[in-house]
Each structure stands twice: as structure tokens, then as C-alpha cells.
Amino acid sequence: MTMDSTQSQSPRPRLSLGPILYHWPREQVLDFYAEMLETPVDVIYLGETVCSKRRLLRPEDYWELAERVAAAGKQAVISTLALIESDGELKTLKRICADERFLVEANDLGALDFLEGRPFVAGHSINLYNQRTLAFLVARGLKRWVLPVELGRETAADLLAARADGVECELFAFGRLPLAYSARCFTAYNRDLPKDDCRFCCADYPDGLLVATQDGEPFLALNGIQTQSAGTHNLLPSLQEVTRMGVDLLRISPQSQNTAGIIDVFAACLTGDMDLATGMSKLRDWTPSGLCDGYWTGQAGIANSPMERRL
């Protein structure tokens, strides 16, 4: 791929920290964010996005954390539930969206209804697949969108070329991929518990409950009503490419161990202080079930791209 003068001047992508997708103890969450404030991420997404029964932290707690994030010179974004079914969930969503101190990330279409007319972020579970959807949402107030995780570089490049000035593109760059949402809680289902009496068993799996194939290959990770990939999606091998394309933000999705180290690897590889091979060897040590990046190159999500295999 050739680089013309404008592309070569693209600023480096900034790093963001996605919302915690798992059910961690309150103390662990608070300690985690205290640590994250010291890392080189520019943006921190806060909030419960998976299950409305998880209430160890309330919206008030996230707002308080957001104040601390802002005081540390970072942007705080309040993220919202990805599947809204009940009246209670809708009420909470409305309350979160009504608070205008912080930018809000919409993860369900319902949030768009409440956020229309003011700046918002469209998360990766909002189906923004083309330029017309992008333009439509920009007209409603979208300032940033996270590319749906199954889309690759070809569509990312087309959308980047079509975007209006000032609209930012963020990629899910590191973490187990959120692949699906359901009414069913799969963690409870596999513990033979009904959802209404789940006993918060998802807390036993700080990085999701592993589902392996019958021949022993890690395949999926169950996280309540969310199904994730077992493999950790990782765009480190494509760092130069995403920089050249003008991607604005790379999202690191929190995992229970080594998140700060992972952020440091991305930051050091972006500045050139660490080479990709060194970065990859660290990331491989720190992921529970291996790395993948197939979606980015238009393959199956579980696959490894040629760039990945070279490193």
C-alpha cells in the first residue's frame, strides 16, 4: 500500500479503555480504575453494558468515577446497556442519557432515541455498516462510532473516506469480541440455574466462561447474556495500517489481568518505542486463549491474518 503525503501525516490513534464487560467485585472495579488513571489511555468508557441485574456499581458510582477520569485529564464516556428489554432497563437508560455532563455511548437503538440532538458515541453493537447510516446518525448528533466488530479494513477505509469532518472512528482493537446478545443468561444456563435465580454466578468467571469444541479448541466465552469469542481479537499487527488510515481511537477491552501492561504495549508500539514482535510476545503471554484478528482482513473472526502470523 502506498502512502501519500496527507496519509503519512495522519496523527497516531489514541487509546481508549472499553467498559468492563464482566461482573467483578466492586473493590476490584474501583482498584482497576485507580490503576487505569495512571495508564496512557486518553478515553475511558464506564458503565454496565451487559446485564441490568449487575448492580454492584450504580450510575451514581460511574458518574463519580467519570469525574475522577476527567480530573485526571482523560475523557470519560458513560456506556450503556447493549440489550434493553424491560421497563426498568429503559428507565435507567433514560436517566443515564439525560445526564449531560459526560458523553454517552449508545449500544442499543433505544439509546439513540434519548441521545438524539446532542453529541453521542455509537458503540459497536449499533449496526452502522455503511456511509448512509453514518451520515444519518451524524445528523442526529453522532461524534464518534465504534466499528461493528465483524467489519474489516475495507469497510473501515470506505467509511473513513465518507465521514464528515470532526467525526471520529474507533476500532475494537484488543479483547475477547462481543459476538452476540440474548434474552438467555448462558452462564446461569450452564450452571443449571434459571436466569431469575442466577445467584450472580457470572462473578465466578472474571474473563467469561470458556466454551471449547469437542476436540478441545477454545471457541467462545460466555458472559451472562453476552457471548464472546474465546480468542482475543488483537489489532497490534495492523498498527501501522490503522494509523495510515486515520483511525482515531483504538479500544482496549478490560480483562481481569494485565490490562495496564497491554495498554503499555500498544502505547509503546504506537510511538515506536517497542517493536511489534516484542509487543506480540507479551500479548501472547497475557491472553487466556490465544489471539485472533481475522475480521480485520475479511476472514473468519477466529482466524489469524498474514500480518499476525508473521509476528
Partner 1 sequence: MELVCPAGNLPSLKAAVDNGADAVYIGFRDDTNARHFAGLNFGEKQIREGLKYARDRKVKVFVAVNTYAQPSGWSRWTAAVDRAADLAVDALILADMGVLDYAAERHPNLNLHLSVQGSATNPAAIGFMHRHFGIRRVVVPRVLSLAQVANLIENVEVPVEIFGFGSLCVMVEGRCLLSSYASGQSPNTYGACSPAAHVEWRDTPQGQETRLGGVLIERRGHGEPAGYPTLCKGRFSVEGEIRHAIEEPTSLNTLDILPGILAAGVSAIKLEGRQRSTRYVSQVTGVWREAIDACKRNPQAFRAKESWHQTLAQVSEGAQTTIGPYHRPWH
Query: If binding is defined by CB under 8 A, does position 96 make contact with partner 1?
Result: no
The CB-of-54 to partner 1 minimum distance in angstroms stands at: 16
Distance in angstroms (rounded) separating the CA atoms of residues 143 and 122 = 8
* Separation CA 120–CA 114 (nearest Å): 10
User: Does 79 contact partner 1 by CB under 8 A?
Assistant: no
CB 169 within 8 A of CB 159: yes
For partner 1, give the closer residue by CB, 39 or 49. 49
CB 230, min distance to partner 1, A = 10
Tell me if 97 is assigned to a ligand binding site: no
201 labeled part of a ligand binding site: no
Segment near partner 1 (CB under 8 A); pick from 15-23, 87-95, 259-267, 278-286: 87-95
Residue among 7, 213, 271, 281 that touches partner 1 (CB under 8 A): 213
Residue ranges in 6-65 that form contacts with partner 1 under rule CB under 8 A? none
**E strand or H helix that includes residue 124:** none
- Considering only residues 34, 71, 98, 162, which one is a binding residue for partner 1 as defined by CB under 8 A? 162
- Residue closer to partner 1 by CB (options 125, 234) is 125
Q: In terms of CB distance, is 1 or 183 closer to partner 1?
A: 183
Distance CA 64, CA 193 (A): 34
Q: Rule CB under 8 A: is residue 241 a binding residue for partner 1?
A: no
How many CB atoms within 10 Å of residue 91? 10
Contact 194, 14 (CB under 8 A): no
**Per rule CB under 8 A, is residue 291 in the interface with partner 1?**
no
Report residue 284 as a C-alpha cell. Answer: 501472547
Pick the closer one to partner 1 by CB: 89 or 264: 89
What's the DSSP call for residue 69? Answer: H
Q: Can you tell me which of 52, 113, 141, 258 binds partner 1, judged by CB under 8 A?
A: 113
DSSP 14-52: EEEEPPP-S---HHHHHHHHHHHTTSS-SEEEES--S-T
List of long-range contacts for 162-169, beta carbons under 8 Å, 24+ apart: 162/131, 162/134, 162/135, 163/134, 163/138, 164/135, 164/138, 167/134, 167/138, 167/142, 167/143, 168/143, 168/144, 168/248, 168/249, 169/144, 169/145, 169/246, 169/247, 169/248, 169/249
51 is in an annotated binding site: yes
Binders of partner 1 among 177-196, rule CB under 8 A? 177, 179-186, 189-190, 194-196
- Judge whether 202 is annotated as a binding position: yes
Nearer CB in complex with partner 1: 171/276: 171
C-beta of 33: minimal distance to partner 1 in Å? 28
Instruction: Quote the least distance from Cβ 263 to partner 1, whole Å.
Output: 25
Among positions 101, 132, 199, 309, the unique one binding partner 1 when judged by CB under 8 A: 132
Q: Name the binding residues for [4Fe-4S] cluster.
A: 51, 185, 198, 202
